[in-house]
Amino acid sequence: MAFDSIFKADLFQGQTVIVTGGGSGIGRCTAHELAALGAQVILVGRKPEKLQTVMAEILEDGGIASWLACDIRDEEAVKALVSQVIQAHGPIHGLVNNAGGQYPSPLASINQKGFETVLRTNLVGGFLMAREVFNQSMSKHGGAIVNMLADMWGGMPGMGHSGAARSGMDNFTKTAAFEWGYAGVRVNAVAPGWIASSGMDTYEGAFKAVIPTLREHVPLKRIGTESEVSAAIVFLLSPAAAFVSGSTLRIDGAASLGSRAWPLHKAQPPSEPFNGFHRAYLPDVLKEEK
């Protein structure tokens, strides 16, 4: 089997694309789709074993991939990483700033270290990757960057540290698009809502119990797939988005819209999901409701 992408098979032939957080979840799915479309994918993350597993999957499927371990919160490590990629593979054509992480907690219970750690992971690290890819490669050759946000448009109760970071990344995306446009660099972002991804299995307690009920709060009456996020990222990296820059594409089934003044209708048959990822699997937390 192979990734069933809606895009033409050679779309990124001869291009080098970095995917941070490529060892699991949306990053893994996106790396697979890009590789299936001809890209030479560089998987970046902190855990070599996860990156090695995804690389092996891509190679088994006939794609091209390599991996480099890096803590994107470390400025010198990021500089060295980007330099190493350029030395080994030439110009960087695309960057998927996917790496991130957070934990559920009310604001009153988040200490300074926890708040700063999430901001460094979800905002500072993405800034460092984008800056170095621009300074070392894209400022000379052009390229496209896609940043990862989340549904934080109405605040992010229970994850205020992540909401602050993602909101900052939305503004960074706009600023970078404006400042770097002269070099032929496009910078956009995606903001997934509730997506059936392995990240769902990292939560415990009360938040875990809520996950199976989330679909009832989505107008489309379902949770999204990794493939639906990956397809949006691929579009923003592609020539079809050549005049799209500084934009954030919401992938949330309209869950971030409306208000309690307009209640959702009772559940009807949900919209049909798109799932082109042949290696996708349902998170354990969603299997429990079957």
How far apart CA 178 and CA 90 sit, in angstroms, is 25
How far apart CA 20 and CA 18 sit, in angstroms, is 6
Residue 96: closest CA among 58, 145, 134:
145
What pLDDT, on the 0 to 100 scale, is given for residue 265?
Answer: 83
Which of 44-58, 110-124, 265-279 is the least confident region?
265-279
Q: Give the pLDDT band (50/70/90) at residue 259.
A: confident
* Domains present along the chain, CATH in parentheses: 16-252+279-287 (3.40.50.720)
What pLDDT, on the 0 to 100 scale, is given for residue 261?
Answer: 81
Q: Reduced to 3 states, what is the DSSP secondary structure of residue 159?
A: strand
Specify the pTM: 0.93
What pLDDT, on the 0 to 100 scale, is given for residue 288?
Answer: 61
Helix/strand/coil (H, E, C) string of 180-205? HHHHCEEEEEEEECCEECHHHHHCCH
What pLDDT, on the 0 to 100 scale, is given for residue 290?
Answer: 46
